[in-house]
């Protein structure tokens, strides 16, 4: 007997996913556009920006990417690397205020063999974690249950970003 998972809020995503695909690199093209909310961009720094991951491991999963299109850490200046590290620290603060996680996974996957989903452009992941967040769904069936829409996560985190920036 199979169980059913109801996720009716996913219908809009499933029916429009192809229309939201970006030509070229999302970390180059999306910051050029005006609608940050539609593009999940939460914050723009001097040399890098913060956006929600459209395919999150958990609610509040953020990414920090430099504006410079590169897959090589050595092509980033010290100022760019410092800006990225400062943004990562701020992300942890925003996520903590919004979600109260018990821990974080923070890192960068370099190259396809290193697990990078977009290997041509460096980007850091900030993933909130809770004790016990790896449950039977992930363990048995390799399925992640994200209990919040991207729009709701964006609004929740944007509130923290705006409070920090103002």
- Provide the annotated active-site residues: 123
DSSP state of 120: T
124-129: strand order across its sheet = 41-44, 48-52, 62-66, 124-129, 103-108
Encode 52-104 in three state secondary structure: ECCCCCCCCCEEEEECCCCCCHHHCCHHHHHHHHHHHHHHHHHHHHHHCCCEE
46 within 8 A of 83, measured Cβ to Cβ = yes
Q: Which residues contact 43 (CB under 8 A, 6 or more apart)?
A: 49, 50, 87, 90, 161, 165
141 within 8 A of 47, measured Cβ to Cβ = no
């Amino acid at each position: 007997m199979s169980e059913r998972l109801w996720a009716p809020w996913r219908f809009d995503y499933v029916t429009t996913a192809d229309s939201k695909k970006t030509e070229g690199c999302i970390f180059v093209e999306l910051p050029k556009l005006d609608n940050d909310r539609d593009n999940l961009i939460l914050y723009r720094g001097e040399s890098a920006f913060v956006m929600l991951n459209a395919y999150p491991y958990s609610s509040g999963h953020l990414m920090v990417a430099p504006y410079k299109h590169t897959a090589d850490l050595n092509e980033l200046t010290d100022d760019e690397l410092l800006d990225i590290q400062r943004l990562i620290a701020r992300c942890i603060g925003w996520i903590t205020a919004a979600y109260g996680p018990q821990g974080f996974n923070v890192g960068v996957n370099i190259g396809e063999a290193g697990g990078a989903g977009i290997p041509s452009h460096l980007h850091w992941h900030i993933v909130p974690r809770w004790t016990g967040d790896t449950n039977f769904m992930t363990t048995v069936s390799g399925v992640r249950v994200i209990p919040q829409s991207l729009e709701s996560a964006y609004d929740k985190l944007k509130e923290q970003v705006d409070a920090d920036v103002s």
